[in-house]
Amino acid sequence: MLTMKNKLHLLIFLMIIFTPQAHAQETNYCHDPESWKEWDAFVQKYPGNMDIQMLHAVRIGLCKKNRRWQHLILHRSSDYPVQ
């Protein structure tokens, strides 16, 4: 099981991975069907492991935030011109 310190480190790592500004040119795994299949299989394989369930929920939440952030950038970019 993951300790609270390891969970925090993993959460920070995931947040860095999903930050759109830092990795705008890299693959967005939120849009990768193969990575979703892997996570779904992993969650089904270990249904009682709350650490895995928590990480899966964090991934879902971060991807949702990522989609919302990308939507805001695309639809409001003309409202905030780059100087």
* Every domain of the chain and the residues it spans: 33-75
DSSP state of 80: S
Low-confidence residues in the chain, pLDDT < 50? 23, 83
Please, is 54 exposed, middle or buried when counting C-beta atoms within 10 Å of its C-beta (0-12, 13-18, 19+)?
middle
Q: What is the pLDDT of residue 4?
A: 83
Chain-centroid distance, C-alpha 9: 14
b/e code 11-40 from CB counts within 10 Å (16+ = b): eeeeeebbeeeeeeeeebbbeeeeeeeebe
Per residue in 39-56, pLDDT (tens digit) is 999 899 999 999 989 999
State pTM to two decimals: 0.53
Q: What is the pLDDT of residue 66?
A: 77
Q: What is the pLDDT of residue 23?
A: 47
Q: What is the pLDDT of residue 74?
A: 61
